[in-house]
Amino acid sequence: MTSPDRWTDELSRARLHVVTGKGGTGKTTVAAALALALASGGRRVLLVEVEGRQGIAQVFDTAPLPYSEERIAAAPGGGEVRALAVDAEAALLEYLSMFYNLGFAGRTLRKMGAIEFATTLAPGLRDVLLTGKVKECVRRTDSGGRHVYDAVVLDAPPTGRVVKFLDVTKAMADLAKVGPIRSQSDGVVRLLHSGDTAVHLVTLLEEMPVRETLDAVTELDAADLRPGAVITNRVRPPRLPARSMTAAAGGRVDASRVRTGLAEAGLELDSDILEGLVEETVEHAIRVQAEQRARADLDAVDLPALELPELTDGADTGALYELAELLGEQGVR
């Protein structure tokens, strides 16, 4: 963990932090930890989810979030994290009621599924509504003209879908050329393609997540969206001395040397236990080598790189603070 390229000043200036990653990499946990880290020292951060999974409520172990911005955690040094689960239907209704007085009719239409229908007719509409709401939160100011949130962290769709989700320009090609949604979406496009936005990629040191990460970086570049940091999650320490690694990965572990060493520490073990230890060692070495290859592939993208360790006790709420602290140590602010 001595990479020189950690969190940069440029990333600190971003106001919208989009967090994506392949399914199973822990992107919601990392997004929550990032929100806590950014809120440290008295700032206010909004953590947003858009996929209706209630993942934020689960990592903070609270009741499902309503469609409103609720305080969900205090951050070290007097900051706070609020959370919002954006729902496309609610966003559309909120939207329509700003321009048309729908009131009761809106609720009835919702019950009938007419809104689900409208968002289905134009698949891009759903994403435009969701990103539109996020933009509104990022840009919102109080009566004194100050931003209500110092930063917004978006727990975004997984890497396979994220560029399509963020590429509002393309989505809007389906939709009307004029009207309120069009003018709002122009604002979304400006935000997402500006230095105010960074798209962070969460990965594990495994072949598939790394490949998806690399693909996502290429796609982001092609869509003129800015990749932020690569955050490698659940990193486990290599235990074997480097000189033993290659041999062990090839199945060659000097069992008699292990036995002598164990005896020195007062452990006289049965041969089947010793065999088990050797087998565990071989598996460990194969995995570490695969991780080294994965890390080399990641290094090739030349983005700020952060790492979070595997937490043996799992990611409970207490662990989020631990992860946030580790992000802080790597320069996140």
For position 292 contacting other proteins by CB under 8 A, the verdict is no
Instruction: Please give the sequence-ordered ranges of beta strands (E in DSSP) within the chain, or none if there are none.
Output: 16-21, 44-49, 70-75, 79-85, 151-155, 197-203, 227-235, 305-309
Stretch that binds other proteins, among 32-40, 71-79, 189-197, 278-286 (CB under 8 A): 278-286
CA atoms of 197 and 273, how far apart (whole Å)? 53
Compute and round to an integer the Cα radius of gyration of the chain: 24
For position 244 contacting other proteins by CB under 8 A, the verdict is yes
Closest CA to 68 of 51, 91, 97: 91
Stretch that binds other proteins, among 41-49, 71-79, 262-270, 323-331 (CB under 8 A): 262-270
Please identify which residue in 57, 262, 319, 326 interacts with other proteins, judged by CB under 8 A.
262
Q: CB nearer to other proteins: give 11 or 168.
A: 168
Closest CA to 235 of 299, 282, 295: 295
Stretch that binds other proteins, among 41-49, 115-123, 190-198, 297-305 (CB under 8 A): 115-123
Read off the amino acid at residue 297. Answer: D
Structure token digits, residue 59: 């990592």
For position 116 contacting other proteins by CB under 8 A, the verdict is yes
Rounded least distance, CB 27 to other proteins, Å = 10
Q: CB nearer to other proteins: give 157 or 328.
A: 157
Please identify which residue in 8, 57, 62, 118 interacts with other proteins, judged by CB under 8 A.
118
Please identify which residue in 1, 74, 208, 222 interacts with other proteins, judged by CB under 8 A.
208
How many residues appear in the chain? 333
Read off the amino acid at residue 219. Answer: E
Stretch that binds other proteins, among 35-43, 50-58, 130-138, 147-155 (CB under 8 A): 50-58
Beta pairing, strands 305-309 & 79-85: unpaired
Q: CB nearer to other proteins: give 195 or 261.
A: 261
Residue labelled with tokens 């020189």: 4
For position 23 contacting other proteins by CB under 8 A, the verdict is yes
- Count of residues in contact with other proteins, rule CB under 8 A: 84
For position 25 contacting other proteins by CB under 8 A, the verdict is yes
For position 174 contacting other proteins by CB under 8 A, the verdict is yes
For position 91 contacting other proteins by CB under 8 A, the verdict is no
Rounded least distance, CB 134 to other proteins, Å = 18
What secondary structure does DSSP assign to 259-270, as a single string?
A: HHHHHHTT----
For position 269 contacting other proteins by CB under 8 A, the verdict is yes
- Cα 321 to its chain centre, rounded Å, is 16
Rounded least distance, CB 310 to other proteins, Å = 8
Beta pairing, strands 227-235 & 151-155: unpaired
- Cα 64 to its chain centre, rounded Å, is 19
Give the other-Cβ count within 10 Å of 4's Cβ: 6
| 143-162 binders of other proteins (CB under 8 A) | 157-158, 160
For position 274 contacting other proteins by CB under 8 A, the verdict is yes
Closest CA to 15 of 145, 164, 123, 134: 134
